[in-house]
Structure 1
């Protein structure tokens, strides 16, 4: 089986993949200081809990937007799984990065486009709800044409609570009803964060569609995508494992 590792700014996701099917996934907080030995102890226990031996892993692919985390993940792969990992983007990408600074495109964004284009024909907008919310445009050929980076909803809430001394920390969840006139401080914060974020998503997608000028499918991914699913019809598809799928597809290409 393939061990796909997606190292983001907030979490590192480890997924056990057979073909393109995710058999198990685990996440741990991103810490560039975490050693390969620490990863191995944690991951070995989780593999055992899922009924897998460490030897089931026959390949490792890594995608990261945290350069300082890469070395220890490579050591993990070599020392504990006996594999030289495939590092996404190290030898270039199998898609065109039609932007002014292709070298600055995050691995997660390129991987999302690889998977989204393989699964869906035509022009695409891929929204990834992570530490930042990214909106990426891929044309019908699979080329990356550019996009948007906005603060993630957790970052927005953290900034609000940090800067305003009297505001409490609240959970990120849908408000109890659809009213946008809050009657107390907590309700007003929920409305501002939740409905404000939906308004941003819908507004940006509408502007992107108008600029593209052709039919576009909107794909959402990231852990918080399902939080907004019931309150907006802007998403055509939600694919929680899009980045992992991209890693698996990149691995498949490397075997040809």
Structure 2
């Protein structure tokens, strides 16, 4: 089995693959203050609860945009699993025949290239890949599998937190469903309209500009914790792939 770990600024997503099948998946809070022992106990308990013993794990593949948790992950892999993890970077993509047109590979987030690899491996066409998390990345992949670059925006929740913190008269609202109408008749619906429909407008606007710039007719797919929410109101997203990053890590693990 292959253990794949995607470390984001808000969540750590772990998955276990038996060949090409995702057997189990967990989403943890990214806690930069957790000690190695604390993280080890939590991660070990998740594996144990699913009857996945350390001896069943043959390989570990990690993508991370949070360098400060690397020590905890290395400790968990060595102490509990008993093998060193494979850390993914943009250079690794060359082994999967993905060209990267980016000025400085060291600046390219591993999650972005892992998503691009997974999406192109599955669909083999021009793509716009949208990852809706703490930050929102929108990346373009050519029909020949070339990673062309993309955009980075503050995530929906990140942007909303600024509104909640800086506006004393506005309440904190739960962002889980879009309002039925764009024109809100009360403060809560007005806020949800601006947050959700406004963010869909950002996603659709950048996507349309990328389509025009690349002169492609791409398939637009979304992943990340907020993908399904924005998909419901987006005019450009066609498919939601909730496990895209994990699948990309599995592919890197096959190298």
TM-score normalised per structure 2: 0.94
Question: What's the counterpart of residue 29 of structure 1?
Answer: 29
Determine the structure 2 residue equivalent to 1:79: 79
Alignment of 1:27-176 (within 5 A): 27-89=27-89, 92-94=92-94, 95-176=98-179
Indicate how the Cα distance of structure 1 residues 236 and 175 shifts in structure 2: closer, same or farther if over 3 A, else same: closer
Normalised to the residue count of structure 1, the TM-score between the two structures is 0.93
Runs of 4+ displaced beyond 3 Å:
none
Aligned length: 252
Q: Secondary structure at the residue paired with 1:84?
A: coil
Q: Is the 8 A contact 1:20 1:249 kept in 2?
A: no
- 105-114 vs 69-78, greater mean Cα deviation: 69-78
Hey, what does 1:5 align to over in structure 2? 5
Q: Distance in 2 between matches of 1:214 and 1:4?
A: 32
Offset at residue 242 of structure 1 (A): 0.7
Partner residue, 2:219:
217
Structure 1, residues 17-37: CA drift from partner, whole Å, max 9, x if none?
Answer: 112321111121112332332
1:250 aligns to what SS in structure 2?
A: helix
Note the residue ranges of structure 2 that are not aligned, 5 or more in a row.
none
| Whole-angstrom distance in 2 between the partners of 1:215 and 1:26 | 35
How far apart are the structure 1 equivalents of 2:254 and 2:76? 21
Q: Distance in 1 between matches of 2:20 and 2:81?
A: 20
Q: Distance between the aligned counterparts of 2:239 and 2:193, measured in 1?
A: 25
Secondary structure class of the residue paired with 1:93: helix
For 2:202, the equivalent position in structure 1 comes to 200
Deviates more, 1:224-233 or 1:107-116: 224-233
Cα gap change, 1:90 to 1:123, in 2 (>3 Å): closer
The secondary structure found in structure 1 opposite 2:254 is helix
Listed as ranges, the gaps of 5+ residues in structure 1 are none
Per the TM alignment, residue 182 of structure 1 is displaced from its structure 2 partner at its CA by 1.4
CA distance in 2 between partners of 1:32 and 1:195 (Å): 32
CA RMSD of aligned residues (A): 1.5
Aligned-residue offset at 1:45: 1.8
Task: Tell me how far 1:163 sits from its aligned partner.
Answer: 0.8
**Could you report, residue by residue, the CA deviation over 1:134-172 in whole angstroms, capped at 9, with x for unpaired residues?**
000111222211111111110111000111111110011
